[in-house]
Amino acid sequence: MDLGDKLSILASSAKYDASCASSGSGRSGAFGANLPAGVCHSWTGDGRCVSLLKVLYSNACRFDCAYCVNRVSADTPRTAFTVDDLVDLTCQFYRRNYVEGLFLSSGIFTDPDMVMEKLIAVAKRLRTEAGFGGYIHLKVIPGAGEKLIREAGLWADRLSANIELPTDKSLQTLAPQKSGKVIFGAMDDVSRCGAENEEDRRKIRSTPVFAPAGQSTQLIVGASEEDDRTIIGLSGALYRKYSMRRVYYSAFIPVGVDGRGGIPDPRLPAIPGPPLVREHRLYQADWLMRFYHFSAAEILEETPYLDRHVDPKTAWALRHIDRFPIDLQWADYEELLRVPGIGATSARRILEIRRLRSLSFDGLRRLGVVLKRARYFITLGGAFIDKPEDPKRIRRMLSDQDGAGLQLPLFDF
């Protein structure tokens, strides 16, 4: 098989991994669209668009995860790159400015250590022999030894081990060869190696940095029965316990939808399409935990699922309408963060400007406050834009039909 054919198969096999911020295929509304020949676009935390060569080393896999196009029981052409193939391909794409980095994963075609060694060999050759200075994201193969994970982090910018399903019960049903304990063990290894590396670097500044972009993981949404509360609770624990930089949520794409081929697996739900609104609300809830100091328990206090029609911050404010209005002239940073329509940046700007002069409603727009949302929850020196109303009416005013037209959060990668 020539390199072009391999690239086409192994890029297509990699496209359902969202943990480089390109969720699913090129469906509209996805967070990044896969371009032909393995080039996928991702967004950095500051909104910059970057392109990555996103491929598998091999799509042969011994495991039979029901949701995966590469599972052993799938009737799909199998192939693998060699280390030379991938080093050459990455360097060629990089030199021609097609990509700024490499996202490399693999099916588990043999013992986890041996698969991990192949991924490490690609990254190491790129760094040491090819002088590659671009971004490298390597998948950690659960079950690979800590020594290999330690080495992977020396060549890669980011490492990720996908948890995929939120509970052991779902893993047993849909991915019976996987074990939550082994996957958490891999995350723990990455987190511990990172912490030890920081310690070493405090003593000796020249110590090479271990995975400077940290670790991430992916959760599939809608392939198993867990509710949003379980998913967000797990994400909160992952951020706390393993210093996770990002949890990516990937709406389950059923067979026959969005160009996804294969035979439907009876273990999977027969849903008409990927639950994209749910995926989006989970990203918003995740955003609240990472940047707005919400706990998982606060986000889902009463119901097991996030509100489809209003974003989770507005939903929280409406449940706690007695805490509003908040006067922007006097509120502290934490109070400002709780106001729908006020982000972390606009909250900081409000505090800065307030020290110099008094705020005005017109000025708030220039500070980035979305008055369309904030107006029901704020006062300025005691004055309202809109007197607080019945929460049901505010909810109607602020609801977006099934998430249509939502502003997607920015990604780092």
Q: Give contact residues for ligand SF4 (rule: CB under 6 A).
A: 61, 63, 65, 68, 70-71, 107-108, 175
Q: Cβ of 362: how many Cβ atoms within 10 Å?
A: 8
d(CA 144, CA 139): 11
Q: Tell the smallest beta-carbon distance from residue 216 to ligand SF4 (Å).
A: 16
Q: Tell the smallest beta-carbon distance from residue 180 to ligand SF4 (Å).
A: 14
Q: Tell the smallest beta-carbon distance from residue 262 to ligand SF4 (Å).
A: 12
Residues near 319 by Cβ (< 8 Å), separated by ≥ 6? 301, 302
Nearer to ligand SF4 by Cβ, of 112 and 363: the residue is 112
Q: Tell the smallest beta-carbon distance from residue 61 to ligand SF4 (Å).
A: 3
Nearer to ligand SF4 by Cβ, of 54 and 71: the residue is 71
Q: Tell the smallest beta-carbon distance from residue 302 to ligand SF4 (Å).
A: 34
Nearer to ligand SF4 by Cβ, of 68 and 337: the residue is 68
Nearer to ligand SF4 by Cβ, of 62 and 240: the residue is 62
Q: Which residues pair with 294 in a beta bridge?
A: none
Nearer to ligand SF4 by Cβ, of 76 and 191: the residue is 76
Nearer to ligand SF4 by Cβ, of 6 and 281: the residue is 6
Q: Tell the smallest beta-carbon distance from residue 393 to ligand SF4 (Å).
A: 46
User: Given strand 326-327, what is the order of strands in its sheet?
Assistant: 326-327, 378-380, 383-384
d(CA 281, CA 392): 20
Q: Tell the smallest beta-carbon distance from residue 139 to ligand SF4 (Å).
A: 9
Q: Please name which of 378, 395, 396 lies closest in space to residue 387, comparing C-alpha atoms.
A: 378
d(CA 287, CA 22): 17
CB-based contact 181:137 (threshold 8 Å): no
Q: Tell the smallest beta-carbon distance from residue 220 to ligand SF4 (Å).
A: 9
Nearer to ligand SF4 by Cβ, of 67 and 324: the residue is 67
Q: Tell the smallest beta-carbon distance from residue 155 to ligand SF4 (Å).
A: 22
Nearer to ligand SF4 by Cβ, of 70 and 215: the residue is 70
Nearer to ligand SF4 by Cβ, of 187 and 277: the residue is 187
